Each structure stands twice: as C-alpha cells, then as structure tokens.
Structure 1
Amino acid sequence: MRITIVAASIDNSGGFRVVSALGQRLLASGHDVRIVAPTKAQPGLRAKLRALRHRQTLRPRQQHSDHLGSLQDRTTVVPHRAPLVADDLPDADLIIATWWATMDWLQDLPATKGTPVHLVQDYETWGGPSHSVDHVMRMGGPKVAISTYLHKLLTDTFGQRDVLLLPNAVDHTLFHAEPRSKQKTLTMGFVYAPDPRKGTDLVLKALDRVRHTMPNIKVVAFGHHAPTKELPLPSWIDYTISPKQETLRAIYASCDVWLFGSRREGFGLPILEAMACRTPVIALNAGAAADLIDDGSGILLDNEDWTGMADAILRIGAMSEEEWRAYSDRAHHRAAEQNWDRVGSALEHWLVDVVARPRSR
C-alpha cells in the first residue's frame, strides 16, 4: 500500500514518537510510507517580548525529530505553513491524519490522495475552538483510538462506529533496565510541563507534602521547557531539559517510583516508558493510566488527587524490598506486553481492510 502520514510538525513529542513508530512498522512490512508536514510557524514579537521579560532563551522552532529512524529520507517538510493542500501530497491508497486540524485539511482532497484515516491521539480542544474539534471528531470514516478513554469518547459521545482500539506500545530497545533493588534514598521522577493539563502543579504539591514526613528523598524530572515564573521548580529537583534517548532511559531507571499527574491526556507514554524500565508508577486517572496500571503494577488514583499521590509515595517508601520488587517486576511485565511490532501488525491488517472497502466519496 502507498501510505501518506500527515503530521502537524516534525518534533520530539510523544505524539510524533507514536506516529513514527507506526510508520516505521508499516514501512518494514513492505509498504510505501511517506510523512508530510507544513513549515512550523516561528515565534512572533509577542512571544519574543514574553521571553525577554521572563529572561528566557527563545530558540527557533526546528523541524527535526530523534524518532524518525528509517523514515528520515521519507519525510518532507513543505515550504509553507499549514494547511497542506493537494499539491503537497503524493498520490496514495491511504492518507492518515494525526491531529484534528490535519484531518480537517483532508476533507477536500481528490480521491487519488487516498482514503482518509484519523489517528486520534487526544481530544485536542486546546488546539482550536472546541466546536471545530468536535466537528472533526464527528466526521465519518475510519478512526484509530490509542486508549480506551478515546475509544469510548468517539463511540459514546461522537457516535462513531468504525473505530479501531490500538493502544500505544514502547520501544524495548530504548526503554529497558535490569532487575534492581529499592534504593535507600527513595528516588522519584516526573515530567515537567507548564501546560496545566499535564498536572505538574499537582505533582509538586504531592512532593512538597511528602517532604514534611520524609525529607530525605531524591527527585528528578525532565521536560522540553525551561521552568516558568508561573510554575518554578524547587532547587531540590534535578531537572534535565530535552534529554537524549539514552539519558531519558537512565532517568526512568534511576527511580523507585514514577509520578504521572496529568489532568487530561490521550495516552501518557511516560507511564509505559517508566514501567519498561522497571519503575512502578503512581498515576492520576487520565489517558491510558487505567488501561496500564492494574494487578499491582502501580497505584492508580482519582483525577487531581494530589493528596492521594503523596500518601501513595509514602506507602511505597515504607515498602519492604520484596514488596517493592514485586511492583517493579509486575510493571516490567505489563510494559513487555505492549510491543510495537504487534501493534504495527494489527494496524496493517486493519488498514488493508480499509483500502478494500468501496470509497464513499
């Protein structure tokens, strides 16, 4: 099959990691896969002035990704900003949108550009007016949901019937760790992000509460943003900006517990990446947390329950070596079930069926 994947940008985000992983599996199965994206808009005067006011370094927005792998030479960034138009895209059997706006771009394309498929990675109401996102979510045609939460949203709220539930996986060549013991100094980690959806403020509240009872803890974090004035990081947190993949693996593997505080999420790849590195996860119930954390592989809490997160940290801190090791082993076993080759194969078989259907337009 000839498959075009339409991306909003080429970057190091978790969403693009998923797009690239799926594309590489389809390519390895013998399909002609291409990724096309528009040129990313550069920071404007307002953003520059804001950065100057907060004494932040504002870097140009680059179009590159560490996740492209075998798709590096099959990726095109067109010389203009969004939206993409027919002339930007090769003829194909399938054209896969990876964000609500990219799905909107596909509606008036000629049939030669392929059958549109919507890869739904989140309910992206922060990316535009909610009525525009909802309109796209109600569009007919085949859709892929990466979590039970999104599958239920598509079927129950938006009345979709042609939806493949295809949970994300993890690259076990990148994220792995040898069996280990719980450390004498309880070490935990989290992802820093200034967006309120990501719940960094909730994690910081939980950690501050824990330190009153257990002052001798170690905390690490990573993210893609310098800490903001509105959401500063305490000096006792060891923070790494945009770590390389091997450094990222080492951060996960250095922890006794990983903290996932998102208020809203389509999936939450750090949960799976930490578990693959044998690190149990304490997660608020967002994205795929409920899908992944079961049978003692971690601790699942109600959404926004930061006090419960603090209590769960203390619970893990009080665990015996044997209890913690059981959590670690179960987390690793759960992550091992999520394999990109298996996920890619399931997607391939479903897409073959989509191409075989009569075109409705």
Structure 2
Amino acid sequence: MKITFICTPPNLSGGNRVIAIYADLLTEMGHDVTIVAQPHPHVSRKQALKRFLKGQRPQPRPEKSHFDNMKARLHLTPNTERITDDDVPDGDVVIATFWTTAYMVANLSAAKGRKFYFVQHHEIHNPLYSELGAASYRLPLRKIVVSNWLRDVMRSEYGEGDVPVVPNAVDHEQFVFHPHDKRSVPTVSLMYSGKLFKGMDISLKALDIVKKRLPELSLLAFGTIDPLERLPLPGYATYHKSPPQTDIPRIYAASDVYLFGSSSEGFGLPVLEAMACGCPVVATRTGCAPDAIRDGFNGYVVDIDDVEALADRLVRVLSAAPDVWKTMSQNAANAVESYSWKDSARIFAACLEEH
C-alpha cells in the first residue's frame, strides 16, 4: 500500500514517536510510507515580545524529533497553516494523526487514498480548541484508536460503534527487565508535564501525603520542559530534563513505583515502559492502565483525581515487604511481555486494508 501520515510539526512527543515507529515498521513490511508534516511556524519579534509581556516563556524549536533518521520518507510542507492536495502524494491510504490534521485530511481529494484518523488521545482539554477537537471526531474518517478507553469514548461520545483498537507496545530491546531488589530508600518516578490533563497537580499533592508518611521519600522525575512556577517539584526530587532515551529505562529501574496521575490519556506509554523494566505502577483509571494493571498484583488503579487513593496505593507499594515487592516487580514485567510493536504494526496494516 501507498500510505501517507499527515502530521503536525516534528517533535519529541509520545504521539509522534508512535507514528514514527509505525511508519518505519510498515516500510519494513514492504509498504510505501510517507510522513507529510507542517514546519514549525516562524515567531516574529513582535509576537515574541507579546508573549514575553504576557509572561509566556519562549519555546525554542526542537533540534531533534522522532522523525529524524527514519526509513520512511519525511516531507515538510512549505505552508505552516495547512496541508493540501499539492503536498500529499496520491496513494491508497491517508491518515490524520491530530485534530488539526483531521480537518486537512477530510478536505483532501479521493486520489490521496482512503481516509483514516489515528486517534491517540481525546483532544478536548484545551479550552481554546475543545469544540473543534470534539467536532473532528465526527468527520467522515475511519477511526483507529490505541486503547479500549478511547474506543469507549468514541462509542459513548460520538456514536462510533465499531472502532478497531491497535494498542501501543514496548521496545523490549530498550526497556529490559533486570531482576533487582527493592530500593533502600523509597523512590517514586514520574514524567513531568505542564499540560493540565497530565494531572501533575494531583500527583504532587499525592506525593506530599506520601512524604508525611514516609519522610525518607525520594522522587525521580523526567520531562522535556523546565518545571513550571505553578507546578514546582519538591526539594526531594531529582529532575532529568530531556534525558537520552537510553537513560529512561534506568530511571524506571531505579524506582520502586511509577506514578501516573493523568485525568485523561489516550494510552500512556510510560505505564508499559515502566512495567517492562520491573517497576510496579500506581495509575489513574485512564488510557492503558485499566488493561495492563491488576490491583495488588503488578500495581494499582484508582479513580481519576483521587489524591488520597493515589497516596494510599503508593504507600502500599513503597511499604511492601522486599519479597512482596519483588513479586510485584516480576509480575509487572511479565504483564507486558506480549506487547510487541511488530504485532501492533501488523494489526494496524490489517485495519488499513480491511476498511
């Protein structure tokens, strides 16, 4: 098949990482794959000054992205506003990957291929575009989602009765389980984000409660931005900004439990990656967490925004006897052994061919 992914500007987001993985695996399977992406918009001095006066920090253009050094072709369009027929090769399949690109794909000619919408998140949480985000799911595009949670959202909110689920997976060559003992100092890891739906405020409140119960608590955090003034990390945190991908498994393996406090998440890839490294996970009931985690077996799942429950389950894992924790660690790794990117890519290709 000739397959085209329509994407936002290249970056290091988890969503773009998944697209890059599928683009390369589909290429290896013999398909002709192109990623068409918008370039990063130019910010004039006047715009930069306005943002500065509003207290907004300048956001440098990312020097690297998950689209670097791919087997699939990458085409950056000259237009920062939209992608049109002139930018997209004729083909069998064209795939929207974000709510803005869904509108672009809907307007492409039939020559560009059957139209799909690869949904990795429920994009309604920014008040500036929540209505447009929601309306994008009503466009006449065939949906593919990454979790049962998203499938249920598409069904209940938008009347989509038959949406295939293609779960994300784990690179088992990168995220490797090396059996190890519980840490001598109780240690939590998390991915830091300033996005409201990531639930960083909830996670930090839960950690405050845990710190009172376990004063020796340590936190390992990583992310792509500097911690925000409205969401400061506590003094007992060690922060890794934009760590190399090879360092992330070490962070998971150096912690007793991974904290995932999102209020809404299409999948939540760090949940699987932490588990693959033998790190039990305490998570909110969103994304892949309800599918991957069994309470008391390899972690815990609690209701969204339930600070007390998050804190309680964190304490349970951190206070577990060494042999109990080691069993949870092994169970976490075992639970995600079957998640394979190659298997998911085959399912993804089958969805494109069947519809």
Report the TM range for the smaller structure's normalisation.
over 0.9
1:131-174 CA-to-partner distances (Å, cap 9, x unmatched) read: 32232211234210111111011123211234211111111112
Q: 1:53–1:132: structure 2 CA closer, same or farther, 3 Å change rule?
A: closer
TM-score by length of 1: 0.92
Structure-1 residue corresponding to 2:165: 165
Structure-1 residue corresponding to 2:351: 350
Structure-1 residue corresponding to 2:104: 105
Query: CA separation in 2, counterparts of 1:117 and 1:222?
Result: 33
Shift of 1:46: 5.6
Query: CA separation in 2, counterparts of 1:3 and 1:55?
Result: 38
Structure-1 residue corresponding to 2:300: 299
Alignment of 1:134-213 (within 5 A): 134-213=134-213
1:309 aligns with 2:310: yes
1:212-239 CA-to-partner distances (Å, cap 9, x unmatched) read: 1211121110011111111111222100
Q: 1:228–1:42: structure 2 CA closer, same or farther, 3 Å change rule?
A: farther
Q: 1:63–1:150: structure 2 CA closer, same or farther, 3 Å change rule?
A: farther
Shift of 1:118: 0.5
Amino acid of the structure 1 residue aligned with 2:113? G
Query: CA separation in 2, counterparts of 1:41 and 1:135?
Result: 24
Q: 1:171–1:82: structure 2 CA closer, same or farther, 3 Å change rule?
A: farther
Structure-2 residue corresponding to 1:75: 74
Deviates more, 1:273-282 or 1:138-147: 138-147
1:234-291 CA-to-partner distances (Å, cap 9, x unmatched) read: 2221001111101112111111100001111111111111111110000011222111
Query: CA separation in 1, counterparts of 2:292 and 2:49?
Result: 40
Structure-2 residue corresponding to 1:125: 124
Q: 1:53–1:105: structure 2 CA closer, same or farther, 3 Å change rule?
A: closer
Shift of 1:47: 5.5
Query: CA separation in 2, counterparts of 1:284 and 1:338?
Result: 21
Larger proportion of helix:
1
Structure-1 residue corresponding to 2:271: 271
Structure 2 unaligned regions, length at least 5: none
Deviates more, 1:121-130 or 1:312-321: 121-130
Secondary structure class of the residue paired with 1:119? strand
1:273-325 CA-to-partner distances (Å, cap 9, x unmatched) read: 11111100000112221111126121111111111111112111221122111
Structure-1 residue corresponding to 2:41: 41
Q: Percent identity?
A: 35
Whether the 8 Å contact between 1:140 and 1:160 is mirrored in structure 2 is no
TM-score by length of 2: 0.93
Whether the 8 Å contact between 1:143 and 1:164 is mirrored in structure 2 is yes
| Aligned residues: CA RMSD | 2.0
Shift of 1:191: 1.0
Q: 1:46–1:211: structure 2 CA closer, same or farther, 3 Å change rule?
A: farther
Whether the 8 Å contact between 2:20 and 2:70 is mirrored in structure 1 is no
Query: CA separation in 2, counterparts of 1:50 and 1:230?
Result: 18
Secondary structure class of the residue paired with 1:90? coil
Query: When the two structures are aligned, how many residues end up with a matched partner?
Result: 352
Deviates more, 1:254-263 or 1:141-150: 141-150
Structure-2 residue corresponding to 1:328: 329
Amino acid of the structure 2 residue aligned with 1:314? V
Whether the 8 Å contact between 2:258 and 2:282 is mirrored in structure 1 is yes
Structure-2 residue corresponding to 1:240: 240
Query: CA separation in 2, counterparts of 1:346 and 1:36?
Result: 22
Shift of 1:86: 0.7
Alignment of 1:79-90 (within 5 A): 79-90=78-89
Shift of 1:332: 0.6
Whether the 8 Å contact between 1:95 and 1:113 is mirrored in structure 2 is yes
Shift of 1:51: 5.5
Amino acid of the structure 2 residue aligned with 1:219? L
Shift of 1:198: 0.7
Whether the 8 Å contact between 1:276 and 1:336 is mirrored in structure 2 is yes
